[in-house]
Structure formats: structure tokens, C-alpha cells
Structure 1
């Protein structure tokens, strides 16, 4: 709406000028129009030196009264020569509303641009923004996916081979704002998939948390590392490992012992950090696969297996042949001073112990969701520093060793705690990708199996009775604590509960056979107004009575499959929810887009419905 800056406008005139706008956003029978986005680009620095790097920023102006979906629904692609120079875009996180991340006002997408040596002159191309929008007013219609294009030009100059001094850069004109050409589209990759959770895939959730809360994530990684050093497989061997360091620093003071211990810990930390960087790079490459149950459900099963390993059902061990080779190399490294301590630390990290191996694998899966090699390196490096803290302290201050508690049953509690945490991750991923009945069945079976193993598998896990009780409580608490984090069950999951057809042809046949109108309800899980219809309108007794005199068909187009797009094109559906009333022969009688309350819907549909004949006539 227009903002009136003149303070002297009368109150009555302000209300009068508002009424037409309110009417314009009220219920509409015509086709809704998606918002017109304004796109502009900027490049910093400009011009770009060859070789060199720069940041290309795509600014999106979203009209008032609309919002865009953030997450996987917002994507940038490039065409033309500039495409080969662009890296992975950094998207805005948005604000989470009802479990869905949305963007309003102005949003910026930053894309790294890398120019190799030998490039010169302007490099041109086109940025394609794939987006999906909903109204914030009136019927809160959600529009089908669309895309906008903006032309870009990157001025590139050759860097001087041997500059005598800093030369002033020649400013380049700011690229003009180009109005985007909006064209409806339905790209499969830009549409929310039904398999992905409403609040985003696990990659989106964990990746966003790990990217935006780096200090907290680093603290958590460090604490997990410290706790890992207290597990039964690590804690008892700390004195043995430190004995080597002590023998090499005998008579040389604490500083020498500290440096030897630090070299050992750095070798361990750098190895894990490289694993983290590789895992994050793999997550960046294959992250889109994680939005489907074909990857999400196996991840849940992987976490469940890792939890069972923490409970000692089985062990993740390095093959014996490789372990022997590594131990031989470690023996050769003894006596090598700082380099020898560094190599022993790195080689010790290769032989992942049965206690921390599952935890490291679980952390690597989460780290992969960040898509950032730098953060992957940083998080695993910090975890390893926490793991090596006791090594560092005992190697520097030998007297601390006598003050440490002896190995015992208390270490089982640490292992059980990690097992429960990993089991919580398994419950979480299962809840994201499984329907609620399947989730409860799988969670019950999994929890029952763990409980049975803890209670009756003492010959395998050797846990004390207190550790078993703590494990049972923690595992049950893990399931309860995960439930509030799960997205709500899709509103359309009970589409056929009240006589709705899920297939168009079946509904049309029913309409012809009974000589009744056919009602088509186009909906999707991500459509707010669709969910509102299903909660407030369709269940009303008067509406249900009217539906019994029709052949209602619920067409869930969340998946946006080729069949979904074909049927939407067939009935010229541009926004959701769209409700269409057909006569028994399939001819359209009327339609509306957006939300209608029970009374309004009955008034709209009643004229087209023949009263049911009295019984016995």
C-alpha cells in the first residue's frame, strides 16, 4: 500500500483511500498474479583482476505483501560464459514461520566468482533465479514455482606481471538494474518434495545451525572431544601413550614435555580435520541427494547402527592387517622427537578405537551438511583438540596422572550417553522422512531392541546395572526430546479419510456414475491456505454433508511430478489452493483460488448441487 507522508491527511480520507485496496486483496474469482520481483547485481571488487576472485551479489526486491520460500525452493543458476567462473551460492537463511523459512523485503544471494589467469575483457552471462512465492494477505495464495532472469557483465583486467607499486584501480560503472522477465516454470528441483520435511531437509537444518552458530558449535565439538577421551577405549591408554612423551622429555623440563604433547595432539587433530574437510566437500557435492528418503532413511539407519556400536553390540575396527602396518610405522617413529610425536598422533587417529569410531562417523555425517570445507576442517580440528586435552595436560604435568580417577564403570556412563545422543539423531532423521505411523512403529521397535539388549545382553556389553538403567532412561528421553523438533505431519496425509478420491479419473468416473458434480481440490503440504482449508473448512459438518452429494477429489501436487504438472496445465492452475467444480461430464462450473470459510464455500457450491431425492422415491 501507498505510504502517506503528509501528516495533515484526515483520518476519514485515510480510511476511504484504504477501502479500495482492501477490496482488491479480498476473495478473488479471477486468476491470481505472482509478485513481480526486481533483481539487481553488483560485483566487488570491480574490475576483477585475472587471476583473482570477487563476490557477485544478486539482490532480490520482494514486493510488500508477499514472501518467498527460502531453503531449497530458492536457487540460482547461471548461463553463458560467466557460468564456468561462479562457485556455490550462499543463500539467506530467512525467518522460520510455522516450520518454514521465508524471505520478505530485500534478500541478497552471494556467489563467489573466480577468474583464472589469462582472462580479459567483459565476461557476460545470465543469472536465473528460481523462486516460489505466497501472499501474506487475503487468501494467502501460494503460487507455482517461477523463475526470473537478469543479465550480468563482469569486467576483467589482466594483473600486471610485476607491479612496481600499488596502482589505483579504475572504477567500473555499476551494472544497471535489470527488470527480470518472469515466466512461470515448474522445475522439479525448485519445488518442495514431499519426502523432504516441511522445516527443511536434515542438510538445511544442521547446515544452517552449523554455519550460523559457529562459536556454540565449536564449544560443543570441543566438549564432545573431552568426553570422548573419558570412554573405556581411550582413557586407560592415555598414560601408556604419554609414557613415551615423558621418556623423551625426561630431564628437559615441562616446556619440552608440553611441546612433545602438543605435537602428538596436532598430528591427531590435523588428521581428523582433513577428514572433516573432505566430508564437508562431499556434502557440498551430493547434498541435494539428502533431501530424498533414498538417502535420508539410510542416514537414520546408519545412526541407529552407530548407537548400537556405542552400546557394544558390535565394534567398528580398522582391519587387522592395516592396524599392524600402522603400529609398525609408529614404532619406527619413536625417538623422532617432535616429528615422531606428530606422526604417532596422526597414525593413532587412523586406528579409530571402537568407542569413538561411531561418534566420529556421526560427526562426519553432520559436518557434511555444512557444505563448507573450512567449517568441516575447523569442527573436526576442535573436536580433536578436546580429545587430546588430557594427553596435553598429562604430558606437561606428570603429577596430574596420580590425581586422575582410576578406570572403572563410570566410563560406561560416558559411552551410554554418546549412544543415547546418536540414537536421538536416528529418531530425528526417521521422523523427517517417515510417515507418522511408520515413524512410531520404527521408533518403538528400535527402542524396544535397545532396551532388550541393555537389559539382557550383559554378556555382550558388560555394562553394570546402574549403567543399564541410565541407558534406558536416556534412550527414552532421546525419543521424547526429539518429538518437538519434528515438523508436523502433512495435513493431506489423511486425504482419503472422509470419502475423498486421490485419483482424478476415479473421481470423474464416480461423478458420471452418480450424476453428481466433481470437486477438485489442488493442494500441497507447503501451502498455508491449503492447510487452513483442511483444518477449518472441509471437516465442518455442513461442508461434509455437501461433499457427500459430490465426487470430491484431492489432488496433492506437493511432489510436482510430471503428472502433477500435466494436470495443473490441463486445468490452468496457477496458484494454490485452487478448488474447481465440474459437472458430471467434466465441464467446469466454477472455481476459486485461496481460502474460503465453511459458510462461503457452501454458498458458492450449493447452487450447483442437486438436492438428494427422498428415500423410497
Structure 2
């Protein structure tokens, strides 16, 4: 239902407002070209069957609205309280009178929540104050609209399919998004460079280490420290640029483009590429582009037999899209900022800095490889074999996202057993064996034993390489601790609303976990955080819901968009009134102690 405002534009008696209009030129000849107030700032109010009140402004091009000038008061009836409005992120603007302030240039919709739902049909009257200006330097007098709304009694609340409604509290991601407003660009970039360095210690970056190392080792005897640096820099800069570009597109269009690349065919193909690269490291064949292509590239990149700056950059792009789709609080905060302000420039610089920060350890590792690795001779072959094994490990890690856990466990077992044979674990040592030969055989025996354990675990239906024999009953933990939390799966917003309503009737809190098979941090949460007995005890009276967004289909994206999420992992908590507690929202991997603090805050 749409309620039009009464025609009651009024001039404020506040002398500062009058001065604002005077000094900004509202009385000059340019005013003849201005739109009428109701044309420049078309205001109306809505209320739905769940007593959700929305205040809407449709702004004409070249006009903006001050955030601090928006004020809502309830004039009738007495006794009803309004909650504070949670304003979306706006544009930072320096005003001659008010100084640094926040304004809105695009259409604005605000949610005006009630302190408590009304159990009877009630007619309320709101007084809405606001003020705006035109870009040509003319400010309008403060305006006032009085609206009368008829609220119907409601017995439930839920999540709207079309939009995301946030409570007054701000999540950690919103805090980061708000921090972008008003900061100098160099400070923003420096801050996100630091965030990136911290994120480099997460599973999102680990698989990229053997990939980059394999590229560097591929140069063999021609490798120098300078070449290693340029290869590493090319890989990292390309990765950071991809992070920025696709992050900006995701923020503007609301789609996690990295998730699009988690298609089983794409993952299988990319995993196959790593297998081929690994076999090349083992010396089965040499990977080399056709001569015609090499000749064209040589003038640009001084293409070498096993790689080039262009090849390193392309691998950096693909690694970002396919190997390491990672969502953490800093990334989510930037995407919220871009989506709500449209400021792709600042958001892009922040994301590029984040990507560079994540790549700094890779550059250090690359330079170290160029400095420390032998340039030629017998020692080079074992090192190439070592990185070949690491590339095979990355291939298996990618296939974890689409293969059954027991099959993946079998692949890890096979890799370890093959490594054990390579280390001559089953060969007899000669009487005059060197210390290195004995050490190599010892490693081989360890690999062989653990490989056999993993194979037994796979045969018993195990899934965790760190607890392969859990299904055999050898562990002393309870079944719930072995298998983590027992979630109720929901697929869409309707199922979520039904689960929230049921929990509300039982006066229970709700935890909603966004999960995907291709999400490394999700797997880490399942393996470590959710199996912690203290976490399980803290959640024993909480309704546990899980949204599996592996397919990334329309329903998955609608569910993510309803909460302004770009992708998993994300964990949301709801109170007994089905309202999300955004301050407890968790994005990215969280250790048990941090996660327990979130749960304790519910009490």
C-alpha cells in the first residue's frame, strides 16, 4: 500500500538552515531553472502487512538529500515508540556550511522500524523532515511531510524476497564499509593492504604457493632472482587486478562471479591442467607452445621454454577465480560500500590493495625460491619432483569441491603412497647409505603408513584427512563431535521464514550457516570450529539452519541477496522475534574462541 504525503512543505525557523540557503545561492537567478520541491524530492511512504514502514524519496538528476537532515517523529497516537533508522551508506560531501556531511544522489528508501509490533489495527501519523540541494549550488528550505498510515495486526515477521532489511545494529562488514567514507584514499589503500596481509595467512592463499613455486621452478637453469621477482610480481599483480575488477562488478551487479567458476566442468579442467603441469615436472614430457606462437610472444615477453610473464599473469587470474574464491569481512565490507554508493573507483583501489596484501607473502616466497633454489645440476630434478607433488595436491584440493569425501580421501592416500614409493620406503637401504638417504627413507615410511591409514579411512567412509579413522570407532569422541553440527537444510527464503516462525513459537534463537562445497573456509569451519565440544554445547538450544549455495542457482543468489551477502562462508544469528542480530554476523573463517564469543553475546 502506498500512502502519499500531505502537501505541507514548511520553512524551518532554524537560522542555520536559512544561512545555508542564503550562502549556497538559493536566491540567485539560477533558481528559475530549478524544479519544484516535490519534483526534485518526490516523497511517499509505504507499509506492508508485516507493519514494515518504508520512507521513499525519488530524486531528480542533479539533486541530493542530506542524511543528517532526515528526521522522523510519531505525532499520533501516543505510547508507540520508533526505533532508530539504519541509514544506508551515502556519498561524502564537503559543505560550505555544514562541513563534511553525507548525502544521497540516488533514490533513497529507509526502513522505519517500530519498537514493538502492534497487536491491533492502528492508524499512525508520522512527521518527516528532510532537506536537499541542487548541484548548481542552490539549497531548498527544509521540508516537512506528514503521512498517515494504517497498520494491520501482525503475528509474524520474516525475510522479504525482494529486499534486505537490516536492524539498527551494524555488522562488522557494515563497519568496514562505513569506514571507507571520508578517509583519504592513501589511508584506505594502506588499511586494506594490511587486511590483505592478514588474509594471506588463511586457506584462501595457501594453494597459490605451489602454483607460483611451480612456475618459478619451471625456468630451471635459466632462473635468476630477478626473474623470480618479475614472475612473482606478474602473478600477484594480475591476481590483485582480477580481485579488484570482479569485486567491483560483483558489488555493482550483486553477483559473486567467482562462484560462477565453481562449475564441476571448470574445476575438473583446471585440475587436469595441474596434473599435466605436475607430470611435466616429473620429466614425462616438456610443455612448450607452438613455435609460431612463441615467436609472436617473444618480442613482448621474452618467452622462455617453461613459462613467461604473460603465462604467470594468466595463471594469477585463473588462480584468483578458480583456486581461491574467498569471502572475508574486509572483502564483504568493500562490496557493500560499492553496491550502496556506486563508488567503484575507491572500492576498486581498496580491493586492489587487498589483493596486493594477500600476494606480498607470495612475492617473498618467489624471491626466496629464485635466491635459494639451485640453478642447475642433479639437485634440480628432486626439487622439480617436489613441486610436481605439490601441484598434484592442488589438483586433489580442487576436486574436493565436487567429489565425495571418501573418494577424495582415497586420492590423498594414493598421492602419499606414491610419494612413499618415490622415497624408496619399501627398498632396502645399502650398508653404506648416506644420512640423506636414511632421512629420505624415513619420510617415505611415514608417508606410506599415513597413506595406508587414509586408505582405510576412505574404505570405511571417512571424510577428514586429519581424522581418517573416526568412522571405525577408534576415536574417543561422541558421534556428534565426530560429525560436527546437525543442520536443518533450507533452500529458499520461504523455507527460511517457515523455520524462523517455528523457532519463534518455541522462543529459540536461530543460526543460519551459508555453505558451499567449493568454499575452503566453509570446510575449515566444519572440520575445526563446528566439531569443538564447547561450540556444540553453546549451540545445543539454538536452531541450526544451513543454506547450501554450492549450485549458485537463482534461489541461492536470492537468498544471499536478501542479506546483502556476496558468498559463503557467512553465519547469521536471529533472535526469538526472527530479527537478525547483525552485530553477531560472522563472515569468513572463525576459530572456536572467536565463534564462542559471538554465541555468548546472544545471552
TM-score interval, normalised by the smaller of the two chains: 0.3 to 0.5
State which structure, 1 or 2, has the greater radius of gyration over its C-alpha atoms.
Answer: 1
